[in-house]
Amino acid sequence: MVEQATAPTEERIWQLLEEVSDPEVPVLSILDLGIVRAVRVEADGQVHVTITPTYSGCPAMNTIATEIRLRLLAEGHTKLQIHNQLSPAWTTAWMSEAGKQKLEAYGIAPPKDATGHVLNLFGQEEAIKCPHCGSNHTKLISQFGSTACKAHHQCLDCLEPFDYFKCH
Amino acid sequence: MYASTDSISLPDVTPELRQQLFSYVLQLADTSLILAHRISEWCGHGPVLEQDLAMANISLDLLGEARSYYQYAAELEGQGRTEDDLAYLRPAVEYRNPLLVEQPNGDFAHTILRQFLYDCFHYHLLVQLQAGPDRHLAAIAEKSVKEAAYHIKWSSEWVIRLGDGTDESRRRLEKAIGSLWRYRGELTTPTTTEQTLQAAGFVPDYAAIQQQIDAHVARVFEEATLPVPQGVFMQKGGKDGRHSEHLGYLLAELQYMQRAYPGMKW
Q: Which domains does chain A have, with CATH numbers?
A: 10-90 (3.30.300.130), 94-165 (no CATH)
CATH of B15-260, picked from 1.20.1260.10, 3.40.605.10, 3.40.50.720, 3.30.70.270, is 1.20.1260.10
Percent of chain A's residues with pLDDT above 90: 68
Q: Per-residue pLDDT for A116 more than 80?
A: no
Average pLDDT estimate for B69-91: 96
Q: What is the mean pLDDT of residues B241-264?
A: 95
User: How distant is the alpha carbon of residue B132 from its chain centre?
Assistant: 19
Domain ranges of chain B: 15-260
Mean pLDDT of A22-35: 92
Nearest CA to B148 among B30, B26, B32?
B32
User: What are the C-alpha distances in Å from B101 to residues A147, B62, B113, B129, B260?
Assistant: 24, 12, 11, 20, 26
Q: Poorest-confidence range of A1-5, A48-52, A104-108, B25-29?
A: A1-5
Half-sphere exposure of B191 (CA within 13 A, CB side): 18
Task: Assess contact for B25 and B194: CB atoms under 8 A.
Answer: no
Q: Can you tell me the distance from the alpha carbon of A57 to that of B6, in angstroms, rounded to the nearest whole number? A: 20
For residue B159, the chain A residue with the least C-alpha distance is A121
**pLDDT at residue B182 greater than cutoff 90:** yes
Backbone angles phi, psi at B149, to 5 degrees: -65, -40
Q: In this model, does residue B110 exceed pLDDT 50? A: yes
**CA-based nearest distance A123→chain B, Å:** 10
pLDDT higher than 90, residue B228: yes
Q: Band of the pLDDT at B84, cuts 50, 70, 90? A: very high
Is the pLDDT reported for residue A2 higher than 70? no
pLDDT in tens, A55-106: 888 888 889 999 999 999 999 999 999 999 999 999 999 999 999 999 999 9
**Cα separation, B238 vs B219, whole angstroms:** 28
Q: What pLDDT shows up at residue A98?
A: 92
Cα separation, A65 vs A86, in Å, equals 15
Q: Does B241 score more than 70 pLDDT? A: yes
Q: What pLDDT was estimated at residue B129?
A: 97
Residues contacting residue B59 through CB under 8 Å, at least 6 positions apart: B36, B37, B39, B40, B43
Over range B221-248, report the average pLDDT.
Answer: 97
Query: Rounded to whole angstroms, how far apart are CA atoms B184 and B114?
Result: 9
For residues B136 and B72, the answer to whether their CB atoms sit within 8 Å is: yes
At residue A132, does pLDDT exceed 70?
Answer: yes
Nearest-Cα distance to chain B for A76, in Å, is 20
Tell me which chain B residues have a C-beta less than 8 angstroms from the C-beta of A55: 60-61, 64, 147
| pLDDT > 60? residue B3 | no
Nearest in space to A128 (alpha carbons), one of A80, A92, A162, A85:
A162
- Contact of B101 with chain A, judged by CB distance below 8 Å, is answered with no
What is the pLDDT, as a whole number, of residue B1? 42
Give the chain B residue nearest A54 (alpha carbons): B143
Q: Residue A21 carries which DSSP code?
A: B
Q: What percent of chain B has a predicted confidence (pLDDT) above 70?
A: 97
